[in-house]
Amino acid sequence: MIRVGINGYGTIGKRVADAVRAQPDMTVHGVAKRSPDYVAVGAAEADYAVYAADADRADGFREIGIDLAGTVDDLVAESDVIVDATPSGIGAENRPLYERHDTPAIFQGGEDATVAEVSFNARANFAEAEDADYARVVSCNTTGLSRFLAPLHETYGIDKARVTLVRRGGDPDQTGRGPINDTVPDPVSIPSHHGPDVQTVFPELDIDTIGLKVPTTMMHVHAVNVSLAEEPDGVDDVRDQFRAEDRLLTIPEYAGIDGAGTLKDFAMDAGRPRGDIWENCIWGESITLQGRDLYCMQAIHQEADVVPENVDAIRALTGLLDGPESRSLTNETLGIDL
Ligand code: NAD
């Protein structure tokens, strides 16, 4: 049983903890939390051992009735692998802590690619992380694009990908984020940083991206155009490729799912924890082929799509299973593609 420590118990950390708990071959050794707030109370109520990320705040945890299991230093020493889900940039600052204890670690997409030997996506490059001590699970957008592009790249080859990313302004708990009433080019420079991030997974891929930010907390939406190297045998051939992928969900026309709001409603009706959607959601009607040019639109739930990837990254780093075995077990235990 691999003991997993989660350092940083926020949007991503708490979801990864619950996903790890659902696995038969790993256990949550504990979670390191910085603030003694409602999320910390939730962690304790979920029976996670809580460690103080900041020893100076330990008294605050005791005051709200949380018995600490130790400090983050203890958590790193006692764990077989750490998932660092701290805010962007803090992961890099934490790396020396993991090195000091010789504990392998998984970082998140808010870190620079240089934080780890490998930028990881379970579908595209699982094997590259098998000999690594440190891996970075790429961002929600890069995860969504990597999953989408991998089968196209393998089957037809890609001459060039062009993607416009309509990005959610913030997560539901990010009360200070925006825009509140605007559509903002973000970044205004073209191409955006997302293309180079995809190239950390597919170094040879020609991809340009454009980013915008809009006032929603629901999901990101990507408008994608891929010029394929080889012409598919009709649009149904492409649809079949997508259908064969476990983390690509094609939304059927009959469902009446016309936006990210209805998608989230669907996920909540389906009983998904926190309304999470771990899969890319591709609108079936949008899949259009003009010669070698493929067009479509997909929605990405930013809070959720990287969660199964973190579970798979744990298996890659610790050698528990190979890529297909790990993805299949993660899917089965979380309820993906059922
Ligand atoms: P978050 O702010 O929701 O959670 C981070 C948690 O870490 C908070 O609980 C915070 O109190 C805690 N923290 C802060 N400093 C810490 C420290 N020094 N030690 C331990 N804990 C500390 O952030 P998030 O949205 O979960 O993002 C975490 C990482 O995941 C970032 O790299 C981010 O870019 C990436 N990511 C976020 C999303 C998303 O949409 N939220 C999607 C994919 C990847």
Locate all alpha helices (DSSP H) within 177-244, ordered by sequence.
194-199, 235-243
pLDDT digit string, tens, across residues 318-337: 999 999 999 999 999 999 97
Residue ranges per structural domain of the chain: 2-138+306-334, 140-300
Our answer on whether the CB atom of 6 is closer than 6 Å to any ligand 1 atom is no
Strand positions, DSSP E, the chain: 2-7, 26-33, 50-52, 70-71, 81-84, 105-107, 118-120, 134-137, 158-168, 184-185, 207-214, 220-228, 248-251, 280-283, 288-290, 293-300
CA of 8 to the centre of ligand 1 (A): 6
Atom of ligand 1 nearest to the CA of 140: 43
Q: Does domain 2-138+306-334 have CATH number 3.40.50.720?
A: yes
Out of 16, 79, 86, 121, give the residue to mutate to test ligand 1, the one with the largest number of ligand atoms within 8 Å of its CB.
Answer: 86
Our answer on whether the CB atom of 109 is closer than 6 Å to any ligand 1 atom is yes
d(CA 165, CA 26): 35
Residues whose CB falls within 8 Å of the CB of residue 237, separated by 6 or more in sequence, listed in order: none
> What are the backbone angles phi and psi of residue 119, rounded to the nearest 5°?
-95, 120
Q: Whose CA is nearest to atom 20 of ligand 1?
A: 8
DSSP code of residue 160 = E
Provide the pLDDT for residue 31: 98
CA of 97 to the centre of ligand 1 (A): 17
Are the C-beta atoms of residues 181 and 210 closer than 8 Å to each other?
A: no
User: How long is the chain?
Assistant: 338
Check: complex ipTM more than 0.95: yes
Are the C-beta atoms of residues 306 and 108 closer than 8 Å to each other?
A: yes
Structure tokens at 95: 């790396």
For residue 338, pLDDT beyond 80: no
Q: What is the mean pLDDT of residues 174-198?
A: 96
pLDDT digit string, tens, across residues 241-296: 999 999 999 999 999 999 999 999 999 999 999 999 999 999 999 999 999 999 99
Are the C-beta atoms of residues 272 and 308 closer than 8 Å to each other?
A: no
Amino acid in the structure at residue 105: A
pLDDT digit string, tens, across residues 58-69: 999 999 999 999
Burial code of 287-322, b = ≥16 C-beta within 10 A, e = fewer?
A: bebeebebebbbbbbbbbbbbbbbbbbbbbbbebbe
When pLDDT is cut at 50, 70 and 90, the band that residue 228 belongs to is very high
Q: What is the mean pLDDT of residues 91-108?
A: 98
Superfamily name and number for 140-300: Dihydrodipicolinate Reductase; domain 2 (3.30.360.10)
3-state helix, strand, coil in the chain (%, to 5): 40, 25, 35
**Burial of 138: CB neighbours in 10 Å, binned 0-12, 13-18, 19+:** buried
Residues whose CB falls within 8 Å of the CB of residue 255, separated by 6 or more in sequence, listed in order: 266
Across all residues in the chain, what is the average pLDDT?
A: 97
Q: Whose CA is nearest to atom 41 of ligand 1?
A: 303
Question: Which residues are marked as active site?
Answer: 140
Largest pairwise CA distance in the chain: 65
Are the C-beta atoms of residues 284 and 249 closer than 8 Å to each other?
A: no
